[in-house]
């Protein structure tokens, strides 16, 4: 069923080489003092019901530094006489558990296939931490991810209370390393871009398949299954965030994930869905008429949003403020709504964040960083000033207009009642201008009208 679509995808990229993980660790430790210790832990499993757990996803920082994705893991970076050493604490081999739950790489697998100097069973964590924190001054650790590891660190630090008092040794501070890691993660390497390109191409084709499968009477969950089915078929690990599949008034609910309604012929469907591949996210939104032909009213809104999106993508240039795409999109959206008679204010007044009318119909930001997290790490305003775009940064561009006739807070123009349009692509910043990673996904009116319902005709 998906074979023809799969044939249009490139081969899956090479995994990130070990040497790159080593380089990432070195970039981080080069910012440390020799008596600093970094401790990163994986989150615990989450319960779905009774003894059933949700599919496991480890922390993005852990993937970034080691590529290791198994549960119950801690990575420690510390400095010894030989220099910086990385240690991974993992689930030890256990035949009985492996019979039930699956094979474990264990200590041997960690050492042979991952960029770590040392590996231990996680049952050794408490003793090793106690030893390694003896002479540490600062412990870099983000609390709140794994309460068990938080507790071990607290205990290990507290054990040093006497030493601190008597000899002045032992940790004096526990600091959050997230900001340092975020700064590294913000600029993507070519290997990371390879993974993101694949995640983007998978999601682009998945959206096209959903377009082809759309017609009156199709349900939101059926379109969701087409999209997510193709994610798996193409080798993605699944979605990078729960798929938003909303027709009619549901398209005007920004993070609608119920996905249970039947689609009507006169409705627009908005699908916001992205694949995750080797931990990397894609994030695409497309909106199309279920009938396969835009009504005049639907087309008026679609044209404005598409013009705004193209202007915002054009603003994704090296040296521009990261807010440039948002400013560009807002201006085009406001001009469009003034032209259509939806906004009666002047352009300047309509853009005012307090009293401007634009925010009634466009109430979210245009961009967020994307990478290992769909809303990726990276401070937007370091020191309070908007960041300038640099090569290697990746962000989404996702303007929209939402006319929820159900909303009690505004008078929705009748002509546009329950039209919700968002168009979202993922963009890589380069010296040569923006590269749209998700460009394979149809978005012109002509392409959409040609494709919607094609598989059902």
Residues taking part in catalysis? 51, 255, 272, 283, 364, 368, 375, 398, 402, 422, 424
Q: Is 241 in the site for ligand GLY (CB under 6 A)?
A: yes
Please report how close the Cβ of residue 148 comes to ligand GLY at its closest, in angstroms. Answer: 31
Q: Is 228 in the site for ligand GLY (CB under 6 A)?
A: no
| Per-residue contact flags (x/-) with Mn ion for residues 396 to 435, judged by CB under 5 A | x---------------------------x-----------
Q: Is 380 in the site for ligand GLY (CB under 6 A)?
A: no
Q: Which two tokens stand for residue 60?
A: 């993005």
Q: Where are the beta strands (DSSP E) in 268-385?
A: 268-273, 275-277, 280-281, 284-289
Q: Are 228 and 273 in contact (CB under 8 A)?
A: yes
Q: Is 283 in the site for ligand GLY (CB under 6 A)?
A: yes
Please report how close the Cβ of residue 248 comes to Mn ion at its closest, in angstroms. Answer: 19
Going by their DSSP bridges, the two strands 400-403 and 394-397 should be labelled as unpaired
Please report how close the Cβ of residue 215 comes to Mn ion at its closest, in angstroms. Answer: 24
Question: Would you say 110 or 395 has its CB closer to Mn ion?
Answer: 395
What CA–CA distance (Å, rounded) separates 181 from 190? 18
Please report how close the Cβ of residue 272 comes to ligand GLY at its closest, in angstroms. Answer: 5
CA angle 74, 80, 82 (to 5 degrees): 120
Question: Would you say 194 or 426 has its CB closer to ligand GLY?
Answer: 426
Q: Is 398 in the site for ligand GLY (CB under 6 A)?
A: yes
Q: Are 276 and 240 in contact (CB under 8 A)?
A: yes
Q: Are 274 and 282 in contact (CB under 8 A)?
A: yes
Axis crossing angle, helix 296-314 with helix 324-339, rounded to the nearest 10: 150
Residue of the chain from 249, 272, 300, 373 that contacts ligand GLY (CB under 6 A): 272
Output DSSP code: residue 455.
G
Residues within window 151-180 making contact with ligand GLY, judged by CB under 6 A: none
Cβ neighbour number for residue 292 with a 10 Å cutoff: 20
Cα dihedral 78, 81, 84, 90 sign = negative
Residue 2 interface partner, choices ligand GLY, Mn ion, none, CB cut-off 5-8 Å depending on type: none
Question: Would you say 278 or 368 has its CB closer to ligand GLY?
Answer: 368
Q: Is 249 in the site for Mn ion (CB under 5 A)?
A: no
In a 3-state reduction of DSSP, which class is residue 328? helix
What CA–CA distance (Å, rounded) separates 37 from 139? 5
**85 DSSP β-pair partners:** 78
Question: Would you say 228 or 357 has its CB closer to ligand GLY?
Answer: 228
Q: Would you give the end-to-end CA distance of the chain in angstroms?
A: 16
Please report how close the Cβ of residue 200 comes to Mn ion at its closest, in angstroms. Answer: 12
Residue 241 interface partner, choices Mn ion, ligand GLY, none, CB cut-off 5-8 Å depending on type: ligand GLY
CB proximity list for 154: less than 8 A, separation 6 or greater: none
Q: Is 426 in the site for ligand GLY (CB under 6 A)?
A: no
# binding residues, Mn ion (CB under 5 A)? 4
Q: Is 283 in the site for Mn ion (CB under 5 A)?
A: yes
Q: Is 272 in the site for Mn ion (CB under 5 A)?
A: yes
Q: Is 208 in the site for ligand GLY (CB under 6 A)?
A: no
In a 3-state reduction of DSSP, which class is residue 394? strand
CB-closest chain residue to ligand GLY? 272
Question: Would you say 56 or 241 has its CB closer to ligand GLY?
Answer: 241
Question: Would you say 177 or 399 has its CB closer to Mn ion?
Answer: 399
Distance of CA 359 to the CA centre of its chain: 25
Please report how close the Cβ of residue 283 comes to ligand GLY at its closest, in angstroms. Answer: 5
CB proximity list for 101: less than 8 A, separation 6 or greater: none
What CA–CA distance (Å, rounded) separates 8 from 376? 28
Q: Is 220 in the site for ligand GLY (CB under 6 A)?
A: no
Residue 221 interface partner, choices ligand GLY, Mn ion, none, CB cut-off 5-8 Å depending on type: none
Please report how close the Cβ of residue 445 comes to ligand GLY at its closest, in angstroms. Answer: 22
What CA–CA distance (Å, rounded) separates 136 from 37? 6
What CA–CA distance (Å, rounded) separates 37 from 29? 9
Please report how close the Cβ of residue 445 comes to Mn ion at its closest, in angstroms. Answer: 21
Residues that bind Mn ion (CB under 5 A): 272, 283, 396, 424
Residues that bind ligand GLY (CB under 6 A): 241, 272, 283, 368, 398, 424
């Amino acid at each position: 069923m998906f074979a023809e679509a799969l044939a249009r995808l490139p081969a899956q990229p090479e995994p990130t080489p070990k040497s790159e993980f080593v380089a990432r660790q070195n970039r981080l430790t080069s910012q440390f003092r020799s008596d600093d210790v970094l401790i990163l832990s994986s989150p615990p499993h989450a319960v779905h019901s009774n003894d059933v757990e949700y599919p496991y996803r480890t922390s993005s920082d852990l993937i970034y530094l080691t590529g290791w994705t198994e549960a119950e893991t801690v990575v420690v970076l510390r400095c010894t006489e030989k220099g910086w050493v990385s240690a991974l604490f993992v689930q030890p081999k256990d035949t009985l558990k492996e019979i039930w739950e699956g094979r474990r790489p264990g200590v041997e697998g960690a050492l042979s296939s991952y960029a770590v100097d040392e590996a231990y069973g996680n049952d050794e964590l408490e003793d090793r931490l106690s030893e390694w924190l003896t002479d540490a001054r600062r412990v870099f650790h983000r609390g709140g991810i794994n309460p068990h590891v938080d507790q071990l660190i607290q205990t290990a630090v507290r054990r040093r209370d006497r030493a601190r008092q008597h000899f002045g040794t032992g940790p004096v501070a526990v600091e959050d390393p997230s900001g340092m890691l975020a700064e590294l993660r913000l600029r993507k390497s070519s290997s990371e871009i390879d993974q993101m390109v694949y995640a983007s191409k998978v999601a682009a084709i998945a959206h096209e398949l959903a377009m082809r499968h759309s017609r009156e009477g199709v349900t939101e969950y059926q379109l969701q299954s087409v999209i997510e089915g193709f994610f798996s078929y193409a080798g993605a690990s699944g979605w990078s965030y729960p798929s938003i599949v909303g027709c009619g008034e549901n398209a005007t609910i920004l993070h609608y994930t119920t996905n249970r309604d039947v689609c009507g012929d006169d409705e627009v469907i908005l699908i916001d869905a992205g694949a995750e591949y080797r931990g990397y996210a894609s994030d695409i939104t497309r909106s199309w008429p279920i009938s396969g032909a835009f009504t005049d009213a639907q087309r008026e809104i679609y044209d404005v949003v598409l013009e705004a999106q193209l202007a915002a993508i054009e603003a994704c240039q090296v040296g521009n403020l990261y807010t440039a795409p948002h400013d560009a999109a807002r201006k085009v959206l406001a001009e469009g709504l003034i032209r259509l008679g939806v906004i009666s204010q002047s352009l300047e007044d309509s853009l005012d964040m307090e009293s401007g009318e634009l925010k009634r119909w466009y109430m979210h930001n245009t961009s967020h960083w994307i990478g290992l997290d769909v809303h990726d790490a990276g401070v937007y305003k370091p020191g309070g000033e908007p960041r300038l775009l640099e090569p290697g940064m990746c962000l989404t561009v996702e303007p929209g207009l939402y006319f929820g006739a159900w909303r009690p807070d505004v008078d929705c123009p009748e002509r546009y009642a329950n039209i919700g349009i968002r168009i979202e692509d993922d963009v890589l910043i380069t010296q040569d201008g923006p590269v749209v990673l998700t460009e394979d996904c149809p978005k012109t009116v002509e392409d959409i009208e040609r494709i919607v319902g094609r598989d059902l005709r």
